[in-house]
Amino acid sequence: MEDRQATGGATTKVRVNGTPAEATLSTTTGGCPELRWHCAGATAERSLSLEADVLGAVASGKEVVVRAFVADDAARPPPCAKAGGKRRRREYVFEMADGEGAAAAWGGTLRGCLDSFGRPKRLFVLINPYGGKRRASKIYEAEIKPLLEAAGVEVTMQETRYRGHAREVASSLDLARYDGIVCVSGDGVLVELVNGILQRSDWEEAIKMPIGVVPAGTGNGMAKSLLHAASETCSVSDAVFAIIRGHKQALDVCTIAQGEKIVFSVLSTTWGLVADVDIESEKYRWMGSARFDFYALVRIMNLRRYRGSVHFVPAPGYEAYGDPVKQSETPIVEQNGESRVCSYQGPRAEFQGSDWRSIDGPFVGVCVYNVPWAAENAMAAPEAKFSDGYMDAVILKDCPKADLLALLLKMSDGSYVKSPHVTYLKVGHFFPVNLIINLQQFKHRANLLPYSGSSVEFFLTSLTLQVKSFRLSPGQLVEDPKRGGIVDVDGEVVARGEGTYGMNQDQYLMAYGPSVQLTVHQGLATVYRPK
C-alpha cells in the first residue's frame, strides 16, 4: 500500500495482535487523526486517536507496533471519543498483508503525525528521592520511565541530593539540549526550578522552558490543579501523559520581597494556621499526606491568633473591601535594585497612586494562592486561575473551633466557601449587607470583650480577594506576645518569629515582623498540562 493511501484513509488488510482485521489510518486535514480497525467476527469497530491515545509507533519488517495509553480495550466510536476509567499502556501489533513497504509507509505516517503535535523529544527529569514517602525513584522506574520510553522521549535523569539542589541545577543547566524539564516530587522541586531559572542571566528565554509536574510528594498542589482543570485524575500516569502530549499552560509567578531580599512563588504564601500546619507537621512526615489532617486537628484544638495587618491593591470590582488607607500611610512598593542577586527583578509595577485597602488582625491565618488546590485533598481557592494576573487572598479571623473544623473538612471540594462564615469574593459576587453588619458587630465586641479562650464568642470573617499587590505585616501571638509565627512560601519557611518550631535550625531569608510585599507577574512561567 502506498503512503498516499495510508494518509488518505484507505482500508487495508492486517492482523491486529494476531487477529485478522481491516484497518484504516486517517490523517485527513480538519479531522482528528485516528487509526481504526474492525476485527473479523467483531460487531464493533475500534479506534485510537493519534493525538489523545497514542504514545508512539515503530515499524519493523512488515509489522507496525503502536504503543497506546488508553482507558480500556473496548470499542471506541470515532471521532476521538474518550473512554472513561483508568488509563494503562497497551501495544497493538499491526502485521501488514502488503508487506514491509506498507509497514514502512504506515510507520512513517504515524511518526510524522505525532511529530506534528509538537510533543517534547528530549526531557530533563529531576527526581526528589526524599519527598513524600521517599518513593519517587521507584515511581520513576515503575511508572514514568516506561511511558517516556514508549513515547520515544530521550531522557536525562538526575536525583536531587539536598534542599536547594534543584535551584542550583536550574541556574546552570544547558537548556538548549532539552524541550522541557520534569519534576518528580511534590511541589518543592517545581518551586526551586522556577527560582533557579529566574536567577539566570538569560532568564527571559529560560523561563519559557516548559516544566512538567509529576505528583510524587506529600502535597502535590500544582499537579492536582493542572489535572483537575482538565477533569483528569491526579495520578502519576496521567501527569506523565500530559507531558508527553506537550500541551502548555502559562503560569503566574508571584514575587515576595522584603527590602533587597526576594523569592518567587508559584503556589501560595501562608501565615498563621495553614503555615503552622504545613511546617510543624514535618515531624509527622512518615504519615504521608495524612500528617496535614492530623496536625490541623491538633492546631485547631490549640488555636492560635496572631496580631498583624494586611494591605492590598484590589482588582477591579473589589475596591470597597477592607478599610481605605490614607495616601500618607500608603505602603511603599519598592522597585528591585541592581544589587539583587537574581537576574529577574520582579514585575515593574507602580502602585503609588492606587487605592490601597487594609485589614487589621488578630488573624487565625492569612493565605495567598496562585492555583486552586493547595494539596491533593485541599481546594483552598476554587476559582483561582493559572494566569489571570491576580492572587487569591483568604483571610481568616476569629471563629469557634467547631466551626473552623467544619470549614477545614469542607476544603476537600472547595465547598467551604459556601459557609455562612465565609465570604468568597470574585468577579460577579457582591458583598452582602448583613456581613457588613457582622463585621461591625465583631469590631464592637472585640473592643469590649477581652480574649479568654474558647469561652468568648468569636466571629469568623473569611475574605477571599483577587488582588494586584498584597503586603503582609505579621505580628506576635495574642496569647503569647513574646512568640511569633511562620511565613511559608510554597512549603518553605522564609521567616520565623521567636519561639516557633525549628527556630534555631536554619538562617531564614527574611526577618519576621517587617512587611513582606507580594506582587504578581502574569503568565511568566510555562507548565505542561492536559489538553
CA dist 132 → 99, 128, 186, 222, 298 (Å): 51, 9, 7, 15, 21
Closest CA to 243 of 230, 253, 257, 254: 230
Q: What is the pLDDT of residues 92-128, one digit of tens each?
A: 999 999 999 999 999 999 999 999 999 999 999 999 9
Domain 2-116 class?
A: mainly beta
CATH (residue range 122-246): 3.40.50.10330
Asked whether residue 4 carries a pLDDT value surpassing 50, the answer given is no
Domain ranges across the chain:
2-116, 122-246, 256-528
User: pLDDT at position 337, please?
Assistant: 43
| Mode of pairing for the β-strands spanning 462-477 and 391-396 | antiparallel
Residue 2: pLDDT band (50, 70, 90) is: very low
Query: Catalytic positions, please?
Result: 187
**Which residues pair with residue 211 across a beta bridge?**
181, 527
Q: What percent of the chain has pLDDT over 70?
A: 79
242 in Cβ contact with 180 (< 8 Å):
no
Q: What is the DSSP string of 306-334?
A: EEEEEEEEEPTT-TTSSEE--GGGPPP-P
Residue 505: pLDDT band (50, 70, 90) is: low
**Mean of the pLDDT values across residues 170-179?**
96
Pick 445 or 398 by higher pLDDT. Answer: 398
Q: What is the pLDDT of residues 17-52, one digit of tens each?
A: 999 999 998 876 556 789 999 998 888 889 999 999
Radius of gyration of the chain (CA): 27
Asked whether residue 529 carries a pLDDT value surpassing 90, the answer given is yes
Residue 371: pLDDT band (50, 70, 90) is: very high
pTM as predicted = 0.84
Q: What is the distance between the alpha carbons of residues 308 and 272, in angstroms, rounded to a whole number?
A: 11
**Cell numbers describing residue 232:** 483528569
Asked whether residue 204 carries a pLDDT value surpassing 90, the answer given is yes
Q: Do domains 2-116 and 256-528 have the same CATH topology?
A: no
Tell me the average pLDDT of the chain. Answer: 81
Topology of domain 256-528, CATH: Tumour Suppressor Smad4 (2.60.200)
Q: What percent of the chain has pLDDT over 90?
A: 49
Asked whether residue 268 carries a pLDDT value surpassing 80, the answer given is yes
CA dist 88 → 50, 185, 347 (Å): 16, 21, 43
Q: What is the pLDDT of residues 214-237, one digit of tens each?
A: 999 888 999 999 999 999 999 999
Which of these ranges, 167-171, 219-223, 265-269, 454-458, has the smallest mean pLDDT? 454-458
User: pLDDT at position 27, please?
Assistant: 74
Q: What is the pLDDT of residues 325-363, one digit of tens each?
A: 876 566 655 544 444 455 788 876 555 556 788 888 888
Asked whether residue 452 carries a pLDDT value surpassing 80, the answer given is no
